[in-house]
A and B are shown apart, each in its own frame.
Chain A
Amino acid sequence: MKLIVNGTDVQVTDGINVSQLLVERKVRLPDMVSVELNETVLQRTEFETTQLREGDRVELLYFMGGGRGTHAV
């Protein structure tokens, strides 16, 4: 299925949850990432239980770098 991750179309395995997305996309420092799904921030405990659907918009945000995160202000 197709998702929009950080504004880019990506092809991922059908029916995966958010935790699986982080693994499949080889997201670095997964314990540091904040995940926003269709403009709602997920709690970390929701990563395993939140199943993704075709066309979902996922934003992966980090609050560790030099900036504030594109959308974080």
Chain B
Amino acid sequence: MSSAEALGEIETAIFQTAAFGYASAEEMADVFAGRAPGHVYTRLSNPTTLVLERRLTAAEKGVGALATSSGMAAIAATTLGLLRPGDEILAANGIFGGTVSFFRNVLGRLNIRAIFVDGANTTEVEAAVTPKTRALFVETIGNPRMDVPDLPALARLAAANNIPLIVDSTLTTPELVRPGEHGAALVVHSTSKFINGHGTAIGGAVVDTGRFDWSRGPFEDVAALARKAGPYAFLAHLRTVIARDLGGCPAPQSSFLMLQGLDTLSLRMKVHCENGLALAQVLADDPRVAAVGYPGLPSSPHFERVERLFGGRAGAVLSLRLGSLARAFAFINALTNVRRVANLGETRTLVIHPASTIFREYQPEDRLSLGVPDDLVRVSVGLEPLSAILADFQQALASAQKE
């Protein structure tokens, strides 16, 4: 039934099975009816994944969690579980390109309108709220804009309008901030990043923090479910309708890899943050670098929020501008140990040129409004010795000067 130490195992067992058998038709009917607990089919739930969901719930101090096949699957299930045609979602304009694309191209097809605003400017967010707004969506640190929204202020705005604040905490993880403690209703993660930590699997999750009263919210089906499920109404809605039917379930093996990552998250985030800050400081002082985006620098306009909300730690993702597309490419190509990879949050230091990759499908002026100029390089700082990271950056910057 439960994978919790059935045979005294220390590591969580991987239940590598598609389905679960029952002794009788009655027992199976009870499980389907919700009168008895049980796993039926791994698309719906799996004992290994359930352990991951419990660990994520505990890490966020939430009421429950649903793990998914990717961060995008978590965002898809969360937004499709809330929004209907004609509704609007207000989103920060510095968020991950994949999320922007989903909001525009998938929600847009369903006549759900995403309105992008400066998420770090609460006044601008407030001015964009309309009677159709049904959710606010921000990232704890916008990727790649590297801005930090004022979570408590946005939570107050959301509460005043009786709508949930959804926070993507992929770049911060529960080690740096628990958004629920600042009033967020739902926290989403791409667990593929720092939680996994080693770049070995794709996964995602949504955690309900318990901060939103679904029985009084504007979502009729969730409010109806709240009469039976209480604070678990939204997760029950996802688990028994939306995520179940979308089908974006995690592989049991992937859930195991996420659990393994969680064991060392605290240790890794400490070094990630130290290396991130040290590299950002060196780059900020280097005349060959036009600009550095890292909210943990005292010169950043977002530094006060990093101190107030994240305990002064700003994670391991930073951006640098090199003055031209040619220099950005020359710099990226000259790196010898740092890898050119469309991921972040791994043990290794990784770089990518967002404008020609993640944001390739957008027009140049559109990219600028999303905080992605042509000369921008995104860096995910790894766990290598700082001296090795700095040496590679120094030689690559020197090489890029020739462009």
Contacts and interface: CB of A to CB of B under 8 A. Distances in A.
Contact of B232 (A34, A67, A68, A71): A34
Interface in A27-62: 27-29, 31-34, 36, 41-44, 60-62
Classify the secondary structure of A's interface with B.
loop
Nearest to B239: A63
Contacts, number: 98
A61 B229 contact: yes
A47 B337 CA distance: 55
Interface residues of A, number: 27
A29 B230 contact: no
Counting chain A CB atoms within 10 Å of each CB, the highest count among B37, B44, B54, B224 belongs to B37
B236 A72 contact: yes
Size category, B interface: 20 to 34
B39 interface: yes
Contact of B31 (A43, A44, A66, A72): A66
B167 to A, nearest CB: 23
A29 B225 CA distance: 21
Contacts of A34: 228-230, 232, 236
Interface string B215-244: 000000000111111111001100111001
Closest 4 CB pairs of A and B: A69-B34, A63-B236, A41-B230, A29-B37
Interface of A: 6, 27-29, 31-34, 36, 41-44, 60-73
9 contacts: A28-B1, A64-B38, A64-B239, A65-B37, A65-B240, A66-B41, A66-B44, A68-B34, A72-B229
Interface of B: 1-2, 31-41, 44-45, 50, 54, 63, 224-232, 235-236, 239-241, 244
